[in-house]
Amino acid sequence: MFQFIQPQSEKPNYTVGQTWGALKKAWRGYKIAKVQSDSTKMTEYAKKIRTLQHDLGVKQAEFPELNLS
């Protein structure tokens, strides 16, 4: 399960709820791009996912197919 810690950003621009919502949308976009085999969009969404996860203080996902870990 997730272990929550304080958000990593010094001055967050968004609430935690907004950040979780953005993370959910980013995952949805990544999955759609993967089905469409669009590696450019997959990379864009993967970077966004990792950034949002860092901001939330949760473990960052790894994307070995994109060389992002």
pLDDT per residue of the chain (69 residues) written in tens, 0 to 9: 455 555 555 656 788 899 999 999 999 999 999 999 999 999 999 999 999 999 998 999 999 989 877
pLDDT of residue 8: 58
pLDDT of residue 5: 54
pLDDT of residue 1: 47
57: Cβ contacts below 8 Å, ≥ 6 apart: 4, 5, 6, 7, 8
Contact, 15 vs 7, CB < 8 A? no
